[in-house]
């Protein structure tokens, strides 16, 4: 069984409901066990165009699926919620990113793990920090050290009342 971290994000058509529904869908999937989920965060959209704010979260799951099969499931869930991959960094009904898969490093045409830009994104690191121990390291640095370097740190806030653990 592999320990996996998945980032969730949405900024279209009721993003908070979409992220919450995606967490429910992940927990109901027969090949995944939802171990933990971060609270919900609001973040300013990154990219060239003005977009609505995002709702973000990270979940921790355990699975026997290989990384490519898990990616297929995540992309299918995105499609079920109306995701259209029309524009890089464009608005999204749902975005599910495979961040970490055990301690594996994967470099393929379809998948890069650890996620190639997660260490630069406060909207990933803040929710991830809720689920990982304080001695967790990514690229040899603590999450606190990585957050200090994030250009989007001031553009991410935890949503009051959102649960830290589901």
How many helices, marked H, and strands, marked E, lie in the chain?
4, 10
| Residues annotated as part of the active site | 83, 92, 95, 97
Q: What's the half-sphere exposure (Cβ side, CA atoms, 13 Å) at 23? A: 25
Can you tell me which residue has the tokens 């490093």? 105
Q: Is the peptide bond before 114 cis (omega within 30 degrees of 0)?
A: yes
b/e burial code for range 88-100 (CB count within 10 A of at least 16 → b): eeebbbbbbbbbb
Q: Report how far residue 66's alpha carbon sits from residue 5's, in angstroms, rounded to the nearest whole number.
A: 14
| Chain Cα centroid distance, residue 56 | 7
* Furthest C-alpha separation in the chain: 41
């Amino acid at each position: 069984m592999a320990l996996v971290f998945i980032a969730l994000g949405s900024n279209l058509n009721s993003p908070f409901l979409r992220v919450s529904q995606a967490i429910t869908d992940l927990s109901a999937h027969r090949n995944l066990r939802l171990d933990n989920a971060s609270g919900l965060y609001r973040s300013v959209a990154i990219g060239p165009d003005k977009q609505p704010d995002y709702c973000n979260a990270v979940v921790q799951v355990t699975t026997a699926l290989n990384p490519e099969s898990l990616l297929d499931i995540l992309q299918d869930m995105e499609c079920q919620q109306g995701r259209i991959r029309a524009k890089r960094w464009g608005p999204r009904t749902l975005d599910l990113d495979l961040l970490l898969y055990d301690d594996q490093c994967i470099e393929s045409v379809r998948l890069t793990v650890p996620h190639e830009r997660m260490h630069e994104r406060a909207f990933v690191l803040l929710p991830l920090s809720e689920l990982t121990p304080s001695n967790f390291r990514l690229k040899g640095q603590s999450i606190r050290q990585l957050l200090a370097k994030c250009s989007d740190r001031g553009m991410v806030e935890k949503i009051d009342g959102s649960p830290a653990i589901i």
